[in-house]
Amino acid sequence: MAIKVHGNKMSTATMRVVACLMEKGLDFQFVDIDMGADQHKQEPFLSLNPFGQVPAFEDGDLKLFESRAITQYIAYTCANKGSQLVCEDPKKMSTVSMWIEVENHHFDPAASALTWELGIKPVIGMATNDTIVEQNKERLSKVLDVYENRLIRSKYLGGDWFSLADLHHLPNMHCLIGTQVKTLFESRPNVSAWYADISSRPAWLKTVEWLKET
């Protein structure tokens, strides 16, 4: 059976999974979930993700949800295809895993809030909450200060090679770079160079083109 990704193209979590599939050169079937019609809160989607959040993933009889768990499944099961993304060396992989956790627990809460306020709300006709924007710009700035120091010593967050730790950042950064928040990235030379590097990868460029498809 073909790989199926059930999601929405405005969802950064969906983008994360698709970007990983692109890095591995894997074909997949995309099942569009109309979140405006609350399809993610109804059956049959709830049988794939009982929490009612996109994306959900199918590979044969395997069903997964949570985008970072899905990308790790793809990276490990297709380790010999496409980009490496993970490795067998426990010391190197523990560093990658640490930065995966940093993205999830420190970067994503602020970045996702800003993506919602500045990237999605204007598109769907909702008013931006300036207080939330300012609060999360401050939170994100502190995280990016840590990244700036890390990237003095390492080309990528997890080490000297592009890994899931870097890939997981791309969707939110892609959404934010077209907003006022871009100055937070551009004002930090190492963060700016890192983003320029990872956002120019062929697999990510393919993901961006996929997002434009109707």
* Total domains present in the chain: 2
pLDDT in tens, the chain (214 residues): 589 999 999 999 999 999 999 999 999 999 999 999 999 999 999 999 999 999 999 999 999 999 999 999 999 999 999 999 999 999 999 999 999 999 999 999 999 999 999 999 999 999 999 999 999 999 999 999 999 999 999 999 999 999 999 999 999 999 999 999 999 999 999 999 999 999 999 999 999 999 999 6
Cα–Cα distance, 20 to 95 (Å, whole number): 19
Cα–Cα distance, 211 to 19 (Å, whole number): 11
User: CA separation (Å) from 125 to 14, 55, 76?
Assistant: 22, 23, 40
Cα–Cα distance, 203 to 53 (Å, whole number): 25
Residues 46 and 132 in one domain: no
In a domain, 139, yes or no: yes
In a domain, 15, yes or no: yes
pTM: 0.96
Residues 70 and 97 in one domain: no
